[in-house]
Structure 1
Amino acid sequence: MKDFPPAVPQRVSSVDVYRGFVMLLMMAEVLRFSQIAEAFPDSSFWAFMSFQQSHVSWVGCSLHDLIQPSFTFLVGVALPYSIASRAGRQQSQSVMWAHTIRRSLILILLGIFLRSIHKTQTNFTFEDTLTQIGLGYPILFALGFRSERIQWTSLGVILLAYGIFFAVYPLPGPYFDWAETGNTADWEYNLSGFAAHWNKNTNAAWAFDRWFLNLFSRESSFHFNGGGYSTLSFIPTLGTMILGLIAGQWLKNSSSPGLLVRCFVTTAAILFVISVTLNITGINPVVKRIWTPAWTLFSGGWCFLFLAAFYFIVDVRQNKSWFKAFIVIGSNSIAAYVLADTLAGFIDSSFRIHISQQYDLLFGEGYLSLVSGGMILLLEFYILYRMYKLKIFIKI
C-alpha cells in the first residue's frame, strides 16, 4: 500500500484577518489622533481616539498597547501550521532548525536596521517587536515539539522566574541618582510598596541594559530608555508566544468550532482574573513597557478574545468577504511592517512636491494629520494590494 505524506494544513482565514487588523492599527499611527485631540480639546470623541492610539504611561492598557502582544501571539499561533507544512514536505528537524535560526537572526537584524534609519551609526537596540520575537523564537520552536503540559509548565516557570528576578533587585535608596534614569522620585506613575520593583528605569531589566547595551559601539553611553523599554522583555514576550502556540495547536486540532470558541473565551477569562488579581494586590502590576508577567497574562487574555471573535465571525460564520482589506494586509505582514516604518515620510514629502505643499489643509488645520495620514495609508494599502494580486508575499 502506498504511503502518502502528511496533509498540509489549510490556511485559517481568521488568523490573517486578526494579523491584518493588528498591522492596520500599527500603520494607522500616521493619522496621529493625539494632534487632532489637541486641536479639539473639548471633543470627548477625539480624546478617546487619542488614548486608544497611544501607549499608557505605565500601568494599564490601551488598544495601541495590544498591537505588539497580538503580533507576537500570532507568531505562536502560526508555528504549529508551519511545522506541519514543513513536515508535509518531508523536511527533517535539522533543516527546520536551520530555517528557525536563520529566521531568528533576520528578525533581530531587521529590527536593528529599522531602528538605525536616519542614525549616524548602527543603533544596537533590542526592545522593538521584531528583535524581541527573534530573540525568543528558537525557544518557541523547540517547545513546538513538546507536549501541551510542558508548554504550560514552561510558561509558568518563565513568568515566575522573571518576576523573582525583578523582586530581588534592590529598590532605590536615599542617595539614588534619579538623573541616571530619566525619571524622578515623585513621578506620578511611580508605584509604591512591593510593586515599586517594577517602576520605570529603576528595575532589574534597566540595570541589565546599563551593562549590556554599553558593550556595543554607541554615539554616547546608554543610561536609560526614555520609554522604560528593555532588552530582557523578550523573556516574558516568549510567554506571549507560548500562549499563541497553545492557541494555534487548539485551532489546528479542533473538530468542534463551538467548543474551540468556548475554550478561547474561558482561557481569556482565567488569564484576566489572574492578571488583575496580581495587579490589584500589588504583587505584580500590569505594565506593557517592561512586559511584566501580569502583562503577559492580561494581554494574552485579550489575544485569546480577539482570536475567538475573528475565528467565530470569519471561519465559523463564513464571513471572510467582510474582511478582504485585513486579509490583504495580514497575508503580507512583514511587508506592511517595513512599509509603515520606512515610507511614511517619503510619501508625505512626495505629495507635497507633486500635489501641493498644503494638500493636508483640505479640512482645516485641526484635521491636518487625518488627511496626510489617510493619504499615506491609502498608498501603503495600494502597494500591499498589488503585491497580493501579484502573489508577492514577503516571508522570513
Structure 2
Amino acid sequence: MNSVNTPPATAPRIGSLDVYRGIVMFLLGLRLLELDEVAVHFPDSAIWQFLGHHSSHIPWVGCSLNDLIHPSFAFLTGASLVFSVSARSRKGQSQWHMTLHALWRSVALIFLGIFLRSVDRDMTHWTFDETLTQTGLGYMAVYALAYCGIRTRWIWFGIILTASWLLYACYPIMPPHANPVDFNTPEGWQHDFTGFFAHWNHNRNVGWSFDRWLLNQFPRESPYLGYLGGYTTLNFIPTIATMILGLMAGTWIKRGDQPARQLMVASVACLAFSFVLHFGGICPILKRLWTPAWVFFSGGGCLLILAALYQIIDVRQWRRWSFPFLVVGVNSLAFYVMRHTLDIWFSETLQKHFGSHVFDVFGQELRPVTIGFCTFVAFWLVALWMYRRKIYIRL
C-alpha cells in the first residue's frame, strides 16, 4: 500500500467515477446509524420503514439500496481498471511490471478482506466472501480482459454466467436440514424456494457444499457449517461478470463516443434481461448467491447510476454538490477500512467520555442514530484531512 499524490495532468480523473465511489462509501457509512434496527421502534412510520428497508440487506430475493454496495464496488473496480492501465502505460511501465502490480493488488485485496473479517476474533477467520476478498479473487481475470477486444470480453461474460448457472442448476436439489440451526439457517427462515429455484436455497446449494469442504481445510475456532447470510466463496465467479460490465463502462467513457447513451442502453438491456431470467424461471434475482439474474439486475442499476452521474458531473459540470462524496470517493479504501475496524471502538469511546445520555437528545430510541452520525462525521473529517493534503491511499 502506498500514498500517491495528485493524478498526472495528462490523465484527468473522471469525476463521476470518484463521486459514485463516494456515494457507495456514504451508503456503507450509513450502516453506522443502525437505521434498520431503529425502524423497529416506529412500525407505523412509512418513512422509518423505508429507511430501515434500504439500510439493510434483503433476506434472500430482491434488492435494497444497501444491496447495491458490493456490486457497485465490483463494477467500479472494472471501470477504474481501464484508466489505471492507460495511465501506467503512459508512464512507460512495461506490461510485465503492470501485471506484477495487478497480482500484488489481487493478493492484497484477498488478505485485507480476510483481515477485516478477523477483527475481534481470537484467530484468523478464513472466509472468502468479504467484498474486498471477492474482488481480489476475480481481479486478475478482469485485468487480463482489459487487454482484450470488446467481442472477447462479451464472450467471456457469457461463459462465466453460463458456467455459474450450470454449477447450481446441475447440483442436486437438497431437502431441508433435519435441524436447520445446526447449518446456520436463520431462525424462522421462510424464504426457501420450491421447484427449479430450489437449486438456490439457503445453505443447501453447490456453493454451500463447496465451502463445507474448502473452509474446513483451514484452522477454525469451530467447524464451518454454513454462513448465516448464505454467501459463498464461489460468488467470486459471477462477480467477475459484474466487473466486466464495469470494464465495458470504463471503455465507453474513455472512448468518449456518447458514453451516457451507451451506459443507458446497456442499463435498460441488463434490467430487462434480469426480469426475463427471474420471471422466466431460469434463476432468481438473488444477491447472496450472485446469480446471473442478479448480475444483470445489479449491473443494470450500476450502469444507470453511472450514466446519470457522468451526464451531471462530467458533461454538464455540475460538481459543487458532490464535494462531500468526492472527499471519500478518492480515498474509498481508507474509509472502508476505518468503517470496518474503528466503528465500534470510536462509538464506545464517545460514550465513555461524554456519557450515553448525551446522545439521547432526540430520544433513547434514536441514540444509535446520533452516535452513528458522530462516528460517520469523524471518519469523513479524517478523509477530508487526507484530501486537503493530497494523500490518496491506493493498493
The code of the aligned residue for 1:201 comes to N
The code of the aligned residue for 2:348 comes to S
CA shift in 2, pair 1:52/1:184, >3 Å = closer
Deviation at 1:175, TM superposition (A): 8.2
Cα distance in 2, alignment partners of residues 182 and 328 from structure 1 = 39
Deviation at 1:35, TM superposition (A): 2.4
Tell me if the contact between 2:181 and 2:187 (Cα under 8 Å) persists in the aligned partners.
no
Deviation at 1:177, TM superposition (A): 6.3
Cα distance in 1, alignment partners of residues 10 and 154 from structure 2 = 26
In the TM superposition, what whole-angstrom CA distance separates every residue of 1:64-95 from its partner, at most 9, and x where no partner exists? Answer: 00000001100000011001101001111110
Cα distance in 2, alignment partners of residues 322 and 175 from structure 1 = 51
RMSD of aligned residue pairs (Cα, Å): 1.7
Tell me if the contact between 1:7 and 1:88 (Cα under 8 Å) persists in the aligned partners.
no
After TM superposition, the structure 1 stretch with the greater mean CA deviation from structure 2, 168-177 or 101-110, is 168-177
Cα distance in 1, alignment partners of residues 48 and 337 from structure 2 = 28
Tell me if the contact between 1:181 and 1:201 (Cα under 8 Å) persists in the aligned partners.
yes
Look up the match of 1:43: 45
Look up the match of 1:201: 203
Look up the match of 1:28: 30
Cα distance in 1, alignment partners of residues 363 and 278 from structure 2 = 43
Deviation at 1:261, TM superposition (A): 1.4
Tell me if the contact between 1:8 and 1:84 (Cα under 8 Å) persists in the aligned partners.
no
Cα distance in 2, alignment partners of residues 212 and 320 from structure 1 = 47
Deviation at 1:179, TM superposition (A): 5.1
Deviation at 1:183, TM superposition (A): 3.3
- The answer to whether the aligner puts 1:262 opposite 2:261 as a matched pair is yes
The code of the aligned residue for 1:332 comes to N
CA shift in 2, pair 1:319/1:196, >3 Å = same
TM value normalised by structure 2: 0.95
**Which residues of 2 match residues 265-284 of structure 1 at below 5 A?**
265-284=264-283
- The answer to whether the aligner puts 1:104 opposite 2:103 as a matched pair is no
SS in 1 for 2:394: coil
Deviation at 1:187, TM superposition (A): 4.0
Tell me if the contact between 1:115 and 1:123 (Cα under 8 Å) persists in the aligned partners.
yes
Look up the match of 1:376: 375
Deviation at 1:357, TM superposition (A): 3.1
Tell me if the contact between 1:72 and 1:240 (Cα under 8 Å) persists in the aligned partners.
yes
In the TM superposition, what whole-angstrom CA distance separates every residue of 1:231-279 from its partner, at most 9, and x where no partner exists? Answer: 0100000110000000000001114xxx321211111111111111111
Look up the match of 2:173: 171
Deviation at 1:317, TM superposition (A): 1.1
Cα distance in 1, alignment partners of residues 67 and 189 from structure 2 = 21
Cα distance in 1, alignment partners of residues 264 and 177 from structure 2 = 48
**Which residues of 2 match residues 65-214 of structure 1 at below 5 A?**
65-173=67-175, 178=180, 180-183=182-185, 187-214=189-216
The code of the aligned residue for 2:317 comes to Q
CA shift in 2, pair 1:96/1:352, >3 Å = same
Look up the match of 2:365: 366
Cα distance in 2, alignment partners of residues 240 and 378 from structure 1 = 31
TM value normalised by structure 1: 0.95
Cα distance in 1, alignment partners of residues 20 and 202 from structure 2 = 31
| Structure 1 unmatched runs, 5+ | 1-5
**Which residues of 2 match residues 225-374 of structure 1 at below 5 A?**
225-255=227-257, 259-374=258-373
Deviation at 1:355, TM superposition (A): 2.1
Cα distance in 1, alignment partners of residues 373 and 200 from structure 2 = 38
